[in-house]
Amino acid sequence: MTHSSTIHESLTAVFQVRDVSAGRRPELAVLLWQRALDPQQGTWSLPGGKLRADEDLDTSAARQLAEKVDVRELSHLEQLSVFSAPDRVPGPRRIASAYLGLVPMTADPRLPDDTAWHPLSALPVTSFDHGTVLEHARNRLAAKLSYTNIAFGLAPERFAMSTLREIYCAALGYDVDTTNLQRVLSRRTVITPTGATAAPGRSGGRPAALYRFTDSELRVTDEFAALRPRS
């Protein structure tokens, strides 16, 4: 027995590491829009919407997102799991394909009036199972930081190691040592020195070396490289 009126939708958790309040460290924030109408009027939702008959899910997720944020600001978009519990939303069944989207720290996209960035440390009341989807996306991001180069999607084009450390701390939710981070990422050739240095900061001192991500597409920074055939 299948439900002929089942709707398929995309839901995207878009993350950015942002300066949330002056004098505090940057935090991981997510893009949410507030529902003007029932059901669940006033709660905050992940951007997304119904799959059209003439598009696939990736196209649909990007299209839905474009209504909330200029997609040129998106540095990465990938499919996560499907949320398919029969009762996840009231009314006709909706099956949701979840996506993870990333925006670089330096971007400042224009947002519609109903939409805002919310730090994960102070989330508003979320709609339906969107809180669960969001948590799943955040866990996937944290896991991928450990075995891929996915931080390219959160970092500025060029950055000092102190900035990259702030990004990792915010996205992982725990403290990371700058020296360790530089050592591990350099050894895996995830980051590359640009040869340039940053203008000295307020605190003075030696100008910081600037790095960039070696690749701007997702790759697994393979711990088993030793097993690979020599190419």
State which residue, 3 or 196, has the beta carbon closest to a second copy: 3
Angle between helices 178-187 and 161-172 (to 10 degrees): 100
**Residue from the set 21, 41, 81, 194 that interacts with a second copy by CB under 8 A:** 81
HSE-CB for 126 with a 13 A CA cutoff: 20
- For residue 62 the two structure tokens come to 């990007």
Say whether residue 231 binds a second copy (CB under 8 A): no
Q: Is-contact 203 133, C-beta < 8 A?
A: no
Say whether residue 5 binds a second copy (CB under 8 A): yes
The CA distance from 121 to 118, in Å, is 8
Say whether residue 145 binds a second copy (CB under 8 A): yes
67 secondary structure, DSSP code: T
- x/- letters, 147..186, toward a second copy (CB under 8 A): x--------------------x---x-xxxx--xx-xx--
**Residue from the set 41, 84, 189, 216 that interacts with a second copy by CB under 8 A:** 84
Residue 124 C-beta: closest distance to a second copy, Å: 27
**Residue from the set 38, 54, 113, 217 that interacts with a second copy by CB under 8 A:** 54
The CA distance from 219 to 136, in Å, is 20
CA dihedral of 105, 106, 108, 114, whole degrees rounded to 10: 0
Say whether residue 139 binds a second copy (CB under 8 A): no
Say whether residue 143 binds a second copy (CB under 8 A): yes
Residue 59 C-beta: closest distance to a second copy, Å: 9
What are the residue ranges of helices labelled H in 121-204?
A: 130-147, 161-172, 178-187
Binding region for a second copy (CB under 8 A): 1-8, 50-58, 79, 81-82, 84-86, 93, 95, 97, 143, 145-147, 168, 172, 174-177, 180-181, 183-184, 188, 220-224, 226-229
